[in-house]
Amino acid sequence: MLLAGASQLPADQVELQNGDRYVGHVLSLSTNAVVLKSEVLGTLRLPRSKVAVITFGRVAATNSPAPPLGTNAELATLSGAVTHTALNGAHALKEE
């Protein structure tokens, strides 16, 4: 019964810049590395410089593919960041 409850705990997810995703529980986080405990892979030490996104506690542990990302302009609007591509696109719109 204890094991059944453990699988219901919210999982963390670490997504790397190359698109790889790891699901488990973040054990530690520093400027150099993220240490993640995965049920399948064991304890992983991931270089922080390769990490794109960390999501804490709201990820369902599945093998389903990642949802498609929006356009650069949509992502820039959502994150509050302006990307080089978004600037080029805005400039092109003004010229027309």
pLDDT tops 70 at residue 57: yes
Domain spans, the chain:
1-64, 66-96
Question: What is this structure's pTM?
Answer: 0.53
Candidate CATH numbers 2.30.30.100, 1.10.10.10, 1.10.3720.10, 2.60.40.420; the one for domain 1-64:
2.30.30.100
Mean pLDDT of 29-55: 95
Q: Please, which pLDDT band fits residue 71 given cuts at 50, 70 and 90?
A: low
Angle, in degrees to the nearest 10, between helices 72-79 and 84-95: 110
Dihedral (Cα; 87, 89, 94, 96), 10-degree rounding: 160
Alpha helices, DSSP H, located in 7-79: 72-79
Instruction: Give the pLDDT score at 9.
Output: 64
pLDDT tens-digit map of 44-56: 999 999 999 999 9
